[in-house]
Structure 1
């Protein structure tokens, strides 16, 4: 209070968050690629892990499910912190813990230790889901779609190429453990670059920070109050379930008697599906120009065609490669379109909105991986392809139902659409 006038001084204006440079975007994209790879590089190694640890393919498949489950746990309990925490400290801690978890997994003497280590390191390797809303908020409305597309491209390349790198590393090193050591080194290297590319906080001051308990408590309200979040979350879950079914069983299918191919070939599918990954880079620009609805519809069409191709050409390598490209393209475009839509809401809740979306998405991935392990062991490749197609049809039903619900009546403007873009839960209004 001013002692001369008796009045409280006006609050200092909140500093504008710094804008991303091209170098910052590149660092964020690379960091997202490296850290998201920790979820997917074990998939081509599952057959080698089963043989090395002397367990069944059903049991080895639990490693992939543990990765998805751990990622969902990390998204729920760690990603919301990005709305208020010190970003540099948060990213440093997460990278260090993930590197340590990868080293434990590399030395795992049995499948139980490997599954627990995978669960732990997947919980802390959630950096991509912290960096994506941060990049969207710092990019601003004029560049948001493009930046989300570039970061999404990094995630797509990381998830795709990780399978190739891990397969090659496994063959070259003579053990699946080599891939884990390589991943630990790559993750640790990010400690030198990522914290420096981020602001200290995402445009918040100490007075704006919510307690951790209230951050978590706000998540159900965000899901309940924003139709865009509900629709995108359910669609993302179904799409990623379909994606995970394919990749969780591809190594087993390639190693079957019909093809008799090793983990190196399974990993090679990452390189062979690069065209689909690269094409997904344009998803953000298309969403900015034409809207997220048409872009998402095109993504679901890609998924439907991909499963028709891999189902009809189950033992044709060309058909499997074409299907993998369409699958990578459709999944990546759907995710970029969904995120571009939800990040239009409110930058102050960007991390928590992304938490809700990605929590559903990776819960769907865990369900897909678990479903795939059981279906393939019991009924084979055709059953897993049908399951993927079923999840895609479920996503299409969610989109169709949401469009009918959101349609304005008798030409009247849709007021809910406008209101939902700015509404913030009451307890968080300042």
Structure 2
């Protein structure tokens, strides 16, 4: 993989992921433009993420059966059509339906990760995944800035229409420049759909990685779904451009993910996961200090979202490196299982975040983030403890632990045979 190809794949990740996240910044504008409540308008975020989860489950396994170039070009064409439909939606229900379609088809980043993992050696996999994740993260953060700024100036429809033009242009570029690949599997589509569930049952390390990402991403989604409500509410009294500026400040996370990838290559995924889960707990405390007004509160909000973004993205690199090492012949299906669980967690987090914000305010959202991170951290500590524990001694036929051998037998059969025989009397 040369740098030009890696840059193109990173840009594709950025555009694909950005379509999921720019609606988070324009929820209040949608509510005002369509005469809906802010809570109802936030449903477009949940619908997009649910659609994204469905798209991962239904479409990403095709990466093991269909060459990546025609698959990606087709999906980007459908995404462009969905964005055009959303930008022209006359009411909230059609917008929600179009948002679900956008989510289903804009799964490019989840196809590119297994594609790239197969184009590089294991010794570079963490670094390449970190670079691709930097692209995804740039799309995630800059999309909120793009959506908030453009929506504030031109209305909530403008981000959808501009995104549609960008997606369709990128589809043309991919059709001309993406390298040709040979799919590793020729199994029927029905078998490919069932394979992620079978892999979840068969691979404990996959289940563990899925739990980590689902819980952390749920907290992440809860924060970014509700932060627009916080900033535009009475405590801060800002407009939706503040959400975009907050995301722009957090773009420094893009510089951290390649470093996290190198640390995964050097120290292992478990060490990076531990640091990331502790960082999520710390971010919950910082975010809780951002509920009031004033400069100090905004500073805490910036620091908390920055720490949360770095921790979530770095943990994703560690999890994917662990997952892709399990079965080289089934990376798309492994990624399907992993990302389906992650975005189920993200969809649940968006829904739970809005429900927590209603009765408990921003403090309820921060408590939700801490609780979810605590679940993942507890599971991780159990895994580390089991890995460090010595193997259990074999049991005898009556169930009691076997006693360690003594004498020459303790040194092994060779030493026992070569030991000095006992002296005879006389």
Q: TM-score, normalised by structure 2?
A: 0.89
Report the number of matched residues: 389
Match of 1:187 in 2: 167
CA deviations 1:361-401 (Å, max 9, x no partner) are 00000000001112212221111111111111111122223
Shift in Å, 1:303: 1.2
1:332 equivalent among 313, 330, 333: 313
What SS is found at the alignment partner of 1:313?
coil
CA contact (8 A) 1:80 1:352 kept: yes
Moved more, 87-96 or 192-201: 192-201
Conservation of the 8 A alpha-carbon contact between 1:32 and 1:158:
yes
Match of 1:311? 288
3-state SS, counterpart of residue 122 of structure 2: coil
Compared CA separation, residues 203 and 82, structure 1 to 2 (3 A)? closer
Name the SS for the 1:85 alignment partner: coil
Hey, what does 1:374 align to over in structure 2?
Answer: 355
1:24-39 mapped onto 2 (5 Å cutoff): 24-39=5-20
1:61 corresponds to which residue?
42
Q: 1:402 corresponds to which residue?
A: 383
Corresponding residue number in structure 2 for 1:116 = 97
Q: Secondary structure at the match of 1:114?
A: helix
Alpha-carbon spacing, 1:411–1:276, altered in 2? closer, same or farther (3 Å): farther
SS in 1 for 2:309: helix
Cα pair 2:135 2:254 within 8 Å, conserved: no
Whole-angstrom CA distance in 1 between matches of 2:59 and 2:245: 33
Residues 1:226 and 2:198 aligned together: no
Q: CA deviation at 1:407?
A: 4.7
Match of 2:187 in 1: 210
- Structure 2 equivalent of residue 362 of structure 1: 343
Tell me the distance in 2 between the aligned counterparts of 1:338 and 1:198: 26
Instruction: Tell me by how many angstroms 1:79 deviates.
Output: 0.1
Offset of residue 402 of structure 1:
2.9
Structure 1, residues 314-353: CA drift from partner, whole Å, max 9, x if none? 2311111111110110010010110011111222100000
What residue is the counterpart of 1:248 in the other structure? Answer: 225
Instruction: Provide structure 2 residue ranges, at least 5 long, that are not aligned to the other structure.
Output: 394-426
What is the distance in 2 between the residues matched to 1:118 and 1:404?
Answer: 43
Rounded Cα–Cα distance in structure 1 between residues aligned with 2:82 and 2:348: 23
For 1:406 and 1:366, the matched residues in 2 are separated by: 32
Contact 2:217 2:349 in 1 (8 A): yes
C-alpha contact (below 8 Å) 2:24/2:144 kept by paired residues: yes
Structure 1, 394-403 or 217-226: larger mean CA deviation: 394-403
| More displaced 10-residue stretch of structure 1: 310-319 or 394-403 | 394-403
For the Cα contact (< 8 Å) 1:157–1:277, is it kept in 2?
yes
Q: CA RMSD in A?
A: 1.5
Counterpart contact for 2:89–2:95, Cα < 8 Å: yes
Which residue number corresponds to residue 167 of structure 1?
148
Q: Which residue of 2 aligns with 1:43?
A: 24
State the distance in 2 between where 1:397 and 1:298 align.
13
